[in-house]
């Protein structure tokens, strides 16, 4: 009896030890594929980081290249006091002629750009589509700023609509800041008959002016990312793609822009 009892446990013990070995030798057919999900996840991550930005705008289509926009222009102020208008008329930006010139007109409630009158008048005479912008000061009264711009900026048929440049957030609560920007836009629209163009950085607009009420105003996007159009979920009409540009006829760095459309579309945007 005792030998039997001693033998059986030993045999069972051997079988228990051998079973895992037999399973290990045979293996599982899917074992080599165990790392595939991890590899696919890693590949997807790389595509998201490096390939997606080349094709996604945050909207409905691929990101266009700067070369796709052939209606080019510049914006200037007292920082570009001397412009050779004849040379500018013959200049090329990546092979495309300069079609429009936007000049700074006013700032806040009491500052008029010292070169505005000359820039604006000469731009028109030289055959460029002319535009004039106001630099918004959030700490100052918005309605007074609108009246100041209108009193010092004589827009006429063939000019671009009024333009509001918003770059400073200020210290007012965000709802009040947005209401003030809208006050300027609505006052000037009432006086000119056309919705003004709203200029600001893409990130600034998405953070502070991401409000459906601003969708009625054409967007001029400041976005310095090389040759790719703004990654903005929405439509933009103008794109300022560098503030360190170079063009014949203007000494020193200058802001360069392109229009999202054909020259006929730009002309259609202008005041009747």
Catalytic residues: 75, 167
Distance of CA 28 to the CA centre of its chain: 53
Question: Residue 140 is encoded by which pair of tokens?
Answer: 């100052």
Q: How far apart are CA 136 and CA 168, in angstroms?
A: 8
- Specify the residue for token string 């059986």: 8
The secondary element (H helix, E strand) that includes residue 41 is helix 36-46
Question: Residue 251 is encoded by which pair of tokens?
Answer: 């000494």
Helix/strand/coil for 97: strand
Extended strands (E) in the chain: 72-76, 92-93, 96-107, 111-112, 129-135, 163-165, 197-201, 219-222, 238-247, 250-259
């Amino acid at each position: 009896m005792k030998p039997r009892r001693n033998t059986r446990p030993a045999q069972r013990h051997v079988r228990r030890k051998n079973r895992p070995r037999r399973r290990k030798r045979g293996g599982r057919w899917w074992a080599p594929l165990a790392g595939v999900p991890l590899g696919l996840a890693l590949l997807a991550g790389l595509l998201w980081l490096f390939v997606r930005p080349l094709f996604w705008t945050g909207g409905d289509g691929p990101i266009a290249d700067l070369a796709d926009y052939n209606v080019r222009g510049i914006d200037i102020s007292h920082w570009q006091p001397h412009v050779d208008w004849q040379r500018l008329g013959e200049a090329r930006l990546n092979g495309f002629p300069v079609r429009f010139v936007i000049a700074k007109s006013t700032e806040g409630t009491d500052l008029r750009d010292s070169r505005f009158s000359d820039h604006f008048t000469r731009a028109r005479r030289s055959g460029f589509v002319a535009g004039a912008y106001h630099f918004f000061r959030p700490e100052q009264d918005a309605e007074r700023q609108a009246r100041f711009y209108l009193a010092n900026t004589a827009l006429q048929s063939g000019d671009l609509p009024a333009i509001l440049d918003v770059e400073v957030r200020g210290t007012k609560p965000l709802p009040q800041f947005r209401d003030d920007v809208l006050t300027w836009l609505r006052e000037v629209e009432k006086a000119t008959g056309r919705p003004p163009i709203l200029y600001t950085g893409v990130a600034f607009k998405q953070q502070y002016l991401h409000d459906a009420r601003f969708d009625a105003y054409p967007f001029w996007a400041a976005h310095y990312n090389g040759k790719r159009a703004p990654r903005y979920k929405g439509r933009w009409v103008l794109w300022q793609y560098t503030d360190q540009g170079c063009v014949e006829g203007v000494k020193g760095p200058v802001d360069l822009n392109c229009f999202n459309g054909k020259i006929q579309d730009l002309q259609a945007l202008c005041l009747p």
